[in-house]
Amino acid sequence: MLNQERMNRVLEKLDADAMLVSDPLAIKYLCGKMIWPGERFLGLLIQNGKEPVLFVNSLFRFEEELGVRKVYFQDTDNVTELVKKEIRKDIVLGVDKILPARFLLPMIEQGIAKGFINGSLAVDHTRAIKDAAEIALMKEASLINDRAMAEFKKLIHAGVTEKEVAAETLGIYKKLGAEGYSFPPIVAFGKNAADPHHMPDATVLQEGDAVLFDVGCKYHGYCSDMTRTFFYKKEPTAEQKNIYNLVRRANEEAEAIIKPGVRLCDIDKTARDIITEGGYGPDFTHRLGHFIGTECHEYGDVSQAFTDLTQPGNIFSIEPGIYHPSILGCRIEDLVLVTEDGHEVLNHYPHDIEIIE
Amino acid sequence: MLNQERMNRVLEKLDADAMLVSDPLAIKYLCGKMIWPGERFLGLLIQNGKEPVLFVNSLFRFEEELGVRKVYFQDTDNVTELVKKEIRKDIVLGVDKILPARFLLPMIEQGIAKGFINGSLAVDHTRAIKDAAEIALMKEASLINDRAMAEFKKLIHAGVTEKEVAAETLGIYKKLGAEGYSFPPIVAFGKNAADPHHMPDATVLQEGDAVLFDVGCKYHGYCSDMTRTFFYKKEPTAEQKNIYNLVRRANEEAEAIIKPGVRLCDIDKTARDIITEGGYGPDFTHRLGHFIGTECHEYGDVSQAFTDLTQPGNIFSIEPGIYHPSILGCRIEDLVLVTEDGHEVLNHYPHDIEIIE
């Protein structure tokens, strides 16, 4: 059913006369119905004072009333013409950031509006402020992730490969009540931990390896995402400990400054300065964090370039890392909620150095 | 490594001066490297007589030489500016059909080219003609799918749910040598078979149910896709048999006319006429088939609107269906290869009515 309050928040923020939302998750957010159209067109047209219109392929016909007018079309219909009929030619039309060129270019060519802008910010800014029900689900998803991490650690033993460990994680999530992954799990041993996007492969665990888990699950459609880096059988070297503790401090000191009204770039800076002063600045190769919700990566960065201020209801990751192939690859990541007067870290799995025996 | 022959075929077909390919699978097709950038930009710029340029986020840095010039960027860099530097302002730029509005709109606004067209057809038409190596892999993927169908049938027993059956399919595919699904399997019992895109749920199998499997796997990156409709415990009724046999005839007579130079819409018509003359035209609610390769749905339809001629090396599905909620939902689907002088059906699992006991 149409969520009028969310819709109003989007329309208020919109810099255009109408908005054609095409991201299935944004459409679900606004009218409560998940439709996955594959390569076919799907659009929710919203404009002030008019009934929203949902354009949906007849293949996905449904009876449910959503409080929107449905316009069905066949594979052979011209989608551009259908949208054209529903809007005035002299308006500026906001389109979704993910609207593919194959739909956007014909709309521009046929001049169905006088101007086109990326209108997704209005939706994204709305989605970035979670309401109470969303926060409750995100907390539960992260609690499941905490419990799962303790189980994943038990999968580590002599002779095991990354792939074998990764293959067990889905079952553990499901047993703990999650419906599935929020993203394919990263399990990285030794040098592989120094590749931030390593995919689990046939690498066999060795004594002294770092063991990195970057993992998350979904709970009622909401995502968790956490990283911990363990050591296998051997005490880390002094250099490794130094890197680990820099990453840990970067994580904890960045988290400590989070409250409403802080520039997201300043949170990144807090972590980055610690790593840079420790001499590993060039080995921290990515942003500090990303917003998260029904998608694992939602609009909003904790990065040097992102100057927006935090607001109550924001949830994002804090995930500093140092990737030094010959010493250690290490990342420590939590999800953090901005509250009315501070913050709440949604992950509770400890940050201490842990040696798996 | 850059596949110069494929690249030349694309450039020959291109109605623009340059093409910015952004589909990761198209980039893999052209230069042999799979990069999955998530929400980040990825682009391969190709133009006649110039070295191709690959724009890739530093997060996905790699050492491998591909025969293209790599331009790395950070999350904080302006991608539009980077692409602008590599092309002349007075050209028409082909962009990928899936290029998202968030990248396309700034390119248009900043006028980095004098015109923009959807250039994907040049890539898609090239990908639609499989070479010998691709055909070999597609055949193997479909052979695995044939064998898997025989195994899936064994999962059907009293009291089982669609979800429970679906949960076993991945393991069977892997045991048979596939690397995974080409799409999430459809397992539909009874009335659910009358929903062409039904997702497996907690529905419990009943005597007399139709049991529809629409399933596919990937083998070395290439997809299979096949549908069979069985019956559980009871002989189908006369009305059900009539529907089943109409679908079967539609499938087999459409397949029979396939050879080079046939209009794809005429293949659709052959099947559709049989179903329409049988009185179930309105219950065949989708196109007859789709092209397939490294993606399960690639460019190219077997539909009323698609007038292109078949060419040797095309591979597409033939999947007529009748979806009548109170009598039967039934679909029979094979993949078919267009050969130099006819066709080859890549699936060998029989079309006969089968009653699972």
Contact yes or no for A83/A107 (Cβ under 8 A): yes
More confidently predicted of B75 and B11: B11
Q: Output the pLDDT for position B39.
A: 83
Give which of B25, B75, B319 to mutate to test A binding, by max A Cβ within 10 Å.
B75
Q: Output the pLDDT for position A49.
A: 85
More confidently predicted of A105 and B196: A105
Say which of A59, A104, A297 has its CB closest to residue B101.
A104
pLDDT surpassing 90 at residue A314: yes
Confidence of residue B192 (pLDDT cuts 50, 70, 90): very high
Say which of B38, B104, B196 has its CB closest to residue A101.
B104
Options 3.30.365.10, 1.10.10.10, 3.30.70.60, 3.40.350.10; CATH of A4-127: 3.40.350.10
Selection from A87, A95, A92 nearest residue A16 by Cα:
A92
Partner B contacted by A104 (CB < 8 A):
yes
Say which of B39, B98, B120 has its CB closest to residue A297.
B39
Partner B contacted by A108 (CB < 8 A):
yes
Q: Output the pLDDT for position A39.
A: 83
Say which of A105, A120, A297 has its CB closest to residue B116.
A105
Q: Output the pLDDT for position A38.
A: 85
Share of chain B above pLDDT 90, in %: 95
* Angle made by CA atoms B174, B175, B180, in degrees to the nearest 5: 10
- The phi, psi pair for A12, rounded to 5°, reads -60, -40
Q: How far apart are CA A143 and CA A140, in angstroms?
A: 5
Confidence of residue B58 (pLDDT cuts 50, 70, 90): very high
Q: Output the pLDDT for position A65.
A: 93
Q: Chain A closest CA to B6's CA: distance in Å? A: 22
Say which of A96, A101, A297 has its CB closest to residue B96.
A101
Give which of A20, A170, A197, A223 to mutate to test B binding, by max B Cβ within 10 Å.
A197
3-class DSSP assignment, residue A25: helix
How does DSSP classify residue B199?
A: P
Integer Rg of chain B from CA = 23
On chain B, the residues whose CB falls within 8 A of the CB of A95 are 101, 105
3-class DSSP assignment, residue B209: coil
CATH 3.90.230.10 placement within chain A: 132-356
Confidence of residue B48 (pLDDT cuts 50, 70, 90): confident
State chain B's mean pLDDT as an integer: 96
CATH 3.40.350.10 placement within chain A: 4-127
Contact yes or no for B7/B52 (Cβ under 8 A): yes
Partner B contacted by A102 (CB < 8 A):
yes
Residue of B nearest to A283 (CA): B59
Q: Chain A closest CA to B229's CA: distance in Å? A: 19
Q: What is the CATH number of domain A132-356?
A: 3.90.230.10
| Among A96-100, B34-38, B69-73, B149-153, the least confident range | B34-38
Three-state SS annotation for A53-122: EEEEEHHHCCCCCCCCEEEEECCCCCHHHHHHHHCCCCCEEEECCCCEHHHHHHHHHCCCCCEEEECHHH
Selection from B68, B78, B113 nearest residue B94 by Cα:
B113
Residue keyed to tokens 């929400």: B39
The pLDDT tens digits of the residues spanning B91-111 come to 999 999 999 999 999 999 999
Give which of A42, A74, A214 to mutate to test B binding, by max B Cβ within 10 Å.
A74
State chain A's mean pLDDT as an integer: 96
Confidence of residue B81 (pLDDT cuts 50, 70, 90): very high
Q: How far apart are CA A137 and CA A85, in angstroms?
A: 39
Contact A98 B96 (CB under 8 A): no
Q: Output the pLDDT for position A295.
A: 94
The pLDDT tens digits of the residues spanning B331-357 come to 999 999 999 999 999 999 999 999 999
The encoded tokens of residue B112 equal: 């980095």
Selection from A251, A220, A261, A240 nearest residue A331 by Cα:
A251
Say which of B58, B101, B120 has its CB closest to residue A98.
B101
On chain B, the residues whose CB falls within 8 A of the CB of A197 are 59-60
Q: Output the pLDDT for position B321.
A: 98
Contact A102 B116 (CB under 8 A): no
Q: Output the pLDDT for position A157.
A: 96
On chain A, the residues whose CB falls within 8 A of the CB of B108 are 108
Q: What is the mean pLDDT of residues B215-238?
A: 97
Q: Output the pLDDT for position A292.
A: 98
On chain B, the residues whose CB falls within 8 A of the CB of A109 are none
Q: Chain A closest CA to B277's CA: distance in Å? A: 21
- The phi, psi pair for B310, rounded to 5°, reads -65, 150
Q: Output the pLDDT for position B197.
A: 84
A282-301 residues touching B, CB cutoff 8 A = 285-287, 297, 301
On chain A, the residues whose CB falls within 8 A of the CB of B58 are 285
**Distances, alpha carbon A192 to alpha carbons A210, A234, B56, B159, B178, in Å:** 9, 17, 20, 45, 25
On chain A, the residues whose CB falls within 8 A of the CB of B77 are none
- The phi, psi pair for A35, rounded to 5°, reads -125, 125
Q: How many beta-carbon contacts under 8 Å exist across A and B?
A: 79
Q: What is the mean pLDDT of residues B228-239?
A: 97
The encoded tokens of residue B269 equal: 């018509």
Q: Chain A closest CA to B101's CA: distance in Å? A: 5
The pLDDT tens digits of the residues spanning A78-135 come to 999 999 999 999 999 999 999 999 999 999 999 999 999 999 999 999 999 999 999 9
